[in-house]
Each structure stands twice: as structure tokens, then as C-alpha cells.
């Protein structure tokens, strides 16, 4: 049993759908196969903007039409016959999306409604793929991931109910997979009350790992637009290195620090059942890619990771007393309540500083919650650099003459925040 995951770049246009089908035919083999798919191209970003406009009471129709136009163009290219069931299926989903947007209300949780709207990107893409594979004589069943991946209602980053999810997958999917392929939307989960949840941005990797965990699959294959797991983002570093093999532990740490190839939560369920993860290129399917598994190797090439759009927040006690455990507990409680993840932290005698992803609304709420107890200063539009397994040469390459606002170094990892 295999699980394939295809991201948005692998289905961004009609030619990409054709390439995906060829990969499934050639590399899916004769084993049972479940395919998890993300939203097409940059659809999630576009839906986020549409939803934001709807929530703020602004006119979102033009932006929504652009999303629908792109899907119609792909639909028409793949299914020239307007009588094809694919046209009706997509139009039904589009009608449901319009209704979800019309129901958006500023009096209801922003994050809860976000999940009900932005999830349509994966629904569109997975139904399109299901219909296209059928047309290519690759018989398959479309499943609604929201009925298999059960979660709580932590909107936008839902927590998986592992026992219930594993039970549903084990009970229902093997009989289907014994007969044909299965196509599932990534990124999505569902609550016991039937509401849609999402697993965090780029959460389709995590979806694939969840299905693999429940099915005890032979492996997960993530198909990307790069050759495998690279030691740096090619957008910033032209001379990247592809790791042929790497351990679960190294990959978890790289994902935690912000490496964009693998979703941070993907590794844990796979490692728990020793399921290998393969990162391959859909542009070069015959390439070796990267195998991530339970292994131990010596020192590997330094990994360079950049997180953009960071904010640095510093807290100090108003009466100039030391930062105590009680003070830290107050700050951590507020950060947890606002779901502000700490990417780097540092404390001195009278101050405590954190680096976090910048979310304007959450930062303002944090200041409102804590300004009575602390003097708070912050900087935005920053970058967080991480060098894992650094060498003297790698330090010289990255640090250079940058204006560093906060730095932290261990025996193997250097992190710093800069403008």
C-alpha cells in the first residue's frame, strides 16, 4: 500500500494534470494507492484574500470570479465535453462556496469561518483529479477526508483525534483500496458536529501521513517541484545540495525551524510506525529524490533556513524587577491562548524576547492582554535565519554584515533575527 501526495504546483494547469496521471500510471505500480492532493497553484492564497474581504464586508466578487475562471479554464481543457460529469460536480462545489461566503458574519469566529471557506481549494482540486483519472481509465473513488480525519475545533490548526481517525481509516478504506485507487483532498479534517477544520497551511503533507499511519502503508511519496529534500531554498541559495537519505530526527528539526519542503507535523506519525517518506520531483520522476527513514548518519551538509515576515517582541517588568518564572508563565499563557508560536526566545535579567510569525491582529491582542503588567516593544518585517550543522564557512556565508537583533547558538545550530 502506497500514499502519494501532490502539491499545488503539480496540478496548476492542464499539462500538470496530464503529468500527474502519467506518474500514477508509471510509479503507482500494482500496489494499492491513495492519492492526497492540495489546492491548485496559488488557490489557497487567493481564497484567503476573498474570505478576508467577505469578513470585512468588502466586495469580493471580482477576486472570486478570478479563482473560478482559472478552474473553469482547466476544466474546459481537461473535459472539452460540457456534458461531462466533472462540469456539474465543480459547479455544485462553486455554488456551495458562494453560499459559504454569503453566510460569513463578523459576529462569528474569524478562524472558524476561514476553515469553512478556504477548504474549497482542496475540494475543487481533488474532484477535478478524480474525474480526470477516471477519464484516463484509472478507476478511482473520491473520498471526503472530513469523514476520516477527525479533529477538535482548533480552527486553522486542528488537533487530530488519532484513535477515532485510525479506526475510521482501518475500517473503511482497505476494502475500497483493494478494488481501485482512492483520491482524497488534503489539508482538511472534520469535527464530530460535521464542521470543516483545516490542519495548518501546507497541511496536505500531514494529511498524507495521517492516512499512511491509519493504513500502515509501505511508504509516503511527496511529489514536489524540486529534486528532493534540499539543504536550502533555491530561491535564496543557488548552490543547493539534495540529501539522498536523511533521518526522521534531522527532518523534524529542519521542519521545526521552518524548512518549507515538509510540513512540521508530517514526520511524527510516520516515525511512530517506521513508515519511510520519499520526496521526489514531479518534473523528473525517474530521479532518486530523498528517502527519510529511521537511520543514523554522520555530519551532513549544513541546512540554511529562512523564515520571512517575523516579529520580535520584548517584554520587561514595569518596576525593573527581574523576569521571574511567574512573569514567564503569564507571557506563555497569553501566547498559547493566541496560538502565537515561538520560533526563538531569549531572556535577560529584566527582559524576555520572542521571535514569532507576524500576525497583526494577534500581536495587537497580545499587547492588549499584557500591557498592564509589562513594557512591550516590537519590531516587524524581520527575517529569522537558521543554520543547522553549521561550519565556519557557512557562518561566514550567511552572517556576513547583517544587522542582527537577536542571536542564539548551540553546538550544531545558529539562529539569528535580522532586518
> Tens of pLDDT along 311-364?
999 999 988 889 999 999 999 999 999 999 999 999 999 999 999 999 999 999
Residue 143: partners with Cβ closer than 8 Å, 6 or more residues away:
173, 176, 182, 183, 184
- Rounded to whole angstroms, the Cα distance separating 213 from 129 reads 23
Q: What are 182-240's pLDDT values in tens digits? A: 999 999 999 999 999 999 988 999 999 999 999 999 999 999 999 999 999 988 998 89
- Rounded to whole angstroms, the Cα distance separating 399 from 84 reads 57
Q: What is the pLDDT of residue 320?
A: 82
- Rounded to whole angstroms, the Cα distance separating 285 from 293 reads 20
**Sheet bearing 219-224, strands edge to edge:** 140-142, 181-185, 33-37, 2-6, 219-224, 277-281, 290-293, 245-247
Q: Report the CATH fold assignment for 2-293.
A: Carbamate kinase (3.40.1160)
- Rounded to whole angstroms, the Cα distance separating 150 from 148 reads 6
Query: How distant, in Å, are the alpha carbons of 45, 158, 164, 268 from that of 169?
Result: 30, 18, 9, 18
pLDDT band at 30 (very low <50, low <70, confident <90, very high): low
Domain ranges across the chain:
2-293, 303-418
- Rounded to whole angstroms, the Cα distance separating 347 from 232 reads 29
Percentage of the chain beyond pLDDT 70 is: 100
Mean pLDDT, the chain, whole residue set: 95
DSSP helix/strand/coil, 186: coil
Burial 238-270 (b: 16+ CB within 10 A, else e): eeeebbeebbbebbbbbbebbbbbbbbbbbebb
Q: What is the pLDDT of residue 31?
A: 74
**Nearest Cα to 37, choosing from 49, 21, 15, 51?**
21
Alpha-carbon torsion 337, 338, 343, 349, what sign? negative
Tell which CATH architecture fits domain 303-418.
2-Layer Sandwich (3.30)
Please give the backbone phi and psi of residue 72, each rounded to the nearest 5 degrees, phi first.
-65, -40
Q: What is the pLDDT of residue 401?
A: 81
Q: What are 359-406's pLDDT values in tens digits? A: 999 999 999 999 999 999 999 999 999 999 999 999 988 888 889 999
Query: How distant, in Å, are the alpha carbons of 51, 82, 96, 291 from that of 58?
Result: 10, 33, 20, 47
Q: What are 242-296's pLDDT values in tens digits? A: 999 999 999 999 988 988 778 889 999 999 999 999 999 999 999 999 999 999 8
Residue 410, pLDDT > 80, answer: yes
Mean pLDDT value across residues 13-28: 96
Q: What are 125-147's pLDDT values in tens digits? A: 999 999 999 999 999 999 999 99
User: Are the beta carbons of 248 and 289 closer than 8 angstroms?
Assistant: no
Amino acid at each position: 500500500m502506497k500514499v502519494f501526495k501532490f502539491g499545488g504546483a503539480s496540478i496548476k494547469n492542464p499539462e500538470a494534470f496530464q503529468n500527474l496521471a502519467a506518474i500514477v500510471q508509471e510509479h503507482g505500480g500494482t500496489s494499492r494507492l491513495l492519492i492526497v492532493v492540495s489546492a491548485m497553484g496559488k488557490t489557497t492564497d487567493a481564497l484567503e484574500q476573498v474570505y478576508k474581504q467577505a469578513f470585512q464586508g468588502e466586495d469580493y466578487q471580482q477576486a472570486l470570479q478570478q479563482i473560478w475562471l482559472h478552474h473553469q479554464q482547466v476544466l474546459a481543457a481537461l473535459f472539452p465535453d460540457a456534458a461531462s460529469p466533472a462540469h456539474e460536480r465543480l459547479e455544485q462545489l462553486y455554488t456551495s462556496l458562494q453560499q459559504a461566503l454569503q453566510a460569513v458574519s463578523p459576529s462569528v469566529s474569524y478562524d472558524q469561518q476561514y476553515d469553512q471557506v478556504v477548504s474549497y481549494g482542496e475540494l475543487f482540486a481533488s474532484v477535478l483529479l478524480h474525474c480526470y483519472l477516471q477519464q484516463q481509465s484509472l478507476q478511482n473513488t473520491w473520498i471526503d477526508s472530513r469523514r476520516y480525519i477527525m479533529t477538535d475545533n482548533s480552527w486553522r490548526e486542528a488537533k487530530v483525534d488519532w484513535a477515532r481517525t485510525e479506526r475510521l481509516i482501518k475500517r473503511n478504506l482497505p476494502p475500497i483500496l483493494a478494488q481501485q485507487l482512492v483520491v482524497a483532498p488534503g489539508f482538511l479534517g472534520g469535527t464530530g458536529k460535521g464542521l470543516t477544520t483545516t490542519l495548518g497551511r501546507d497541511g496536505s503533507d500531514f494529511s498524507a501521513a495521517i492516512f499512511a499511519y491509519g493504513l500502515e502503508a509501505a511508504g509516503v511519496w511527496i511529489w514536489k517541484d524540486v529534486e528532493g529534500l534540499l539543504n536550502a531554498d533555491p530561491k535564496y541559495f543557488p548552490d543547493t545540495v539534495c540529501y539522498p537519505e536523511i533521518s526522521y530526527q534531522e527532518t523534524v528539526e529542519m521542519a521545526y525551524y521552518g524548512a518549507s519542503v515538509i510540513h512540521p507535523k508530517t514526520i511524527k506519525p510516520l516515525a511512530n510506525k517506521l513508515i519511510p517518506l520519499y520526496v521526489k520531483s514531479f518534473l523528473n520522476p525517474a530521479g532518486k529524490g530523498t528517502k527519510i527513514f529511521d537511520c543514523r548518519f554522520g555530519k551532513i551538509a549544513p541546512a540554511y533556513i529562512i523564515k520571512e515576515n517575523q516579529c520580535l517582541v520584548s517584554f520587561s517588568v514595569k518596576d525593573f524587577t527581574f523576569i521571574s518564572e511567574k512573569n514567564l508563565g503569564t507571557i506563555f499563557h497569553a501566547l498559547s491562548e493566541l496560538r502565537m508560536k515561538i520560533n526563538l526566545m531569549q531572556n535577560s535579567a529584566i527582559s524576555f524576547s520572542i521571535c514569532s510569525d507576524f500576525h497583526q491582529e494577534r500581536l495587537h491582542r497580545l499587547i492588549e492582554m499584557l500591557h498592564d503588567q509589562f513594557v512591550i516593544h516590537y519590531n516587524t518585517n524581520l527575517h529569522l535565519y537558521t543554520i543547522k550543522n553549521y561550519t565556519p564557512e557557512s557562518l561566514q556565508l550567511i552572517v556576513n554584515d547583517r544587522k542582527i537583533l537577536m542571536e542564539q547558538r548551540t553546538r550544531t545550530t545558529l539562529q539569528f533575527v535580522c532586518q
